Amino acid sequence: MKKRNRRLENVVYEFKHNKQAIFAAIYLCVIICVSIFVVFVNIDPDAIDVVHKLEFPSGAHWFGTDDMGRDYFIRVLYGGRVSLLVGVLAMVTSITIGVTVGMMSGYFGGIVDNLLMRLVDVFSSIPWIIMVTVFGLLFKRGLFSIIIVIGLFSWMGIARLVRSEVLSAKEREYVQYARFIGRHPARVMTGHVLPSIFPTIITAATAEIASAIMMESALSFLGIGVAAPMSSWGSLLQGSQQYLQKAPYMAVLPGILIILTVYSFNKLGDVLRVFVEPKITAGEKNE
């Protein structure tokens, strides 16, 4: 019990003494709240107003208007909903697959392990951008398919990580006892192994959201991601590319929001890592 407290203390210490981490946490809270509550703002993101198209930022339109006269600021906020949603759900997909594969692989070992790890090899041997685009052809374009496709191609790292954690968790006395008294493997895994590797999963999950958001924006930018009328930060950037000369302000806001969001999720992951790997990071603050 004492050890556990020490770990938490480390995380709290890291949080208090790391300005970037505080910034990341506050920023994420704000952007998530804004994304949730933006629906209550009384501006329609799809209201077309051709008279005021491609207008520069002003009091009426904080970030100007796009090529159809829609208020760009509100569109970016709505785009954030899609980007964050894809990020979180793709993370859930890839964590689910990764943890399942990693647990089975580590727990059963032998031929199961061998087969599953070869599968991981196959999946990680093709550059993701090629794999994802090819796989994307299989599904009709839409939010759901993007989430699935991103999730399907980002679980390999998590599977490897979980497998190695399970390998060591398997050797603990309480797990061995549970196996000895004949508990069903599924119950041992969910009841005893899973809780012990939970911190690792949380840390990986935060980083996973960041990379899913990046992947989504890249896909949308290439025109194979989120399709109109829905828009995400990536597809907004794709749209703004056409008007780069006339309306450069359109490229600024979505890009900065992507950077800040991805940065914050990564930072959060770094802070949480202190909890998972106290040995590696505990030394850092003393120097």
Nearer to another protein among residue 145 and residue 164 (C-beta)? 145
What six digits make up the tokens of 99?
């943890």
* Nearest in space to 86 (alpha carbons), one of 231, 257, 237: 231
Q: Least distance to another protein from the beta carbon of 281, Å?
A: 11
What six digits make up the tokens of 111?
């031929």
Is 203 exposed, middle or buried (CB count within 10 Å of its CB: 0-12, 13-18, 19+)? buried
Q: Kindly indicate which of the ranges 70-78, 155-163, 192-200, 252-260 contains the residues binding another protein, using the contact rule CB under 8 A.
A: 252-260
Nearer to another protein among residue 85 and residue 131 (C-beta)? 131
In the list 260, 277, 281, 282, the residue contacting another protein (rule: CB under 8 A) is 260
What six digits make up the tokens of 152?
């399907």
Site string for another protein, 152-191 (x = CB under 8 A): ----------------------------------------
For residues 286 and 49, the answer to whether their CB atoms sit within 8 Å is no
Q: Least distance to another protein from the beta carbon of 151, Å?
A: 16
At how many degrees (to 10) do helices 72-108 and 156-169 cross? Answer: 40
Is it true that the peptide bond before 45 is cis, omega within 30 degrees of 0?
Answer: no
Nearer to another protein among residue 41 and residue 112 (C-beta)? 112
What six digits make up the tokens of 91?
């993370």
Q: Is 245 in the site for another protein (CB under 8 A)?
A: yes
Q: Least distance to another protein from the beta carbon of 1, Å?
A: 30
Q: Least distance to another protein from the beta carbon of 52, Å?
A: 23
Q: Is 8 in the site for another protein (CB under 8 A)?
A: no
Q: Least distance to another protein from the beta carbon of 263, Å?
A: 4
Nearer to another protein among residue 164 and residue 281 (C-beta)? 281
What six digits make up the tokens of 170?
């398997």
DSSP string across 84-136: HHHHHHHHHHHHHHHHHHHHHHHHH-HHHHHHHHHHHHHHHSS-HHHHHHHHH
Site string for another protein, 131-150 (x = CB under 8 A): --xxx-xx-x----------
Which residues does 92 contact at the CB level (< 8 Å), separation at least 6?
151
What six digits make up the tokens of 101?
């594969």
DSSP string across 178-208: HHHTT--HHHHIIIIIHHHHHHHHHHHHHHH
In the list 9, 121, 195, 198, the residue contacting another protein (rule: CB under 8 A) is 121
242: three-class secondary structure by DSSP: helix
Backbone φ and ψ of 139, nearest 5°: -105, 155
Q: Is 129 in the site for another protein (CB under 8 A)?
A: yes
Q: Is 63 in the site for another protein (CB under 8 A)?
A: no
Identify residues 79-118 at the interface with another protein (CB under 8 A).
Answer: 118
Site string for another protein, 201-230 (x = CB under 8 A): ---------x---x--xx--xxxx------
Q: Is 30 in the site for another protein (CB under 8 A)?
A: no
Backbone φ and ψ of 71, nearest 5°: -65, 120
Give the binding site for another protein (CB under 8 A). Answer: 20, 118, 121-122, 125-127, 129-130, 133-135, 137-138, 140, 210, 214, 217-218, 221-224, 234, 237, 240-241, 244-245, 248, 251, 254-255, 258-263, 266-267, 284, 287
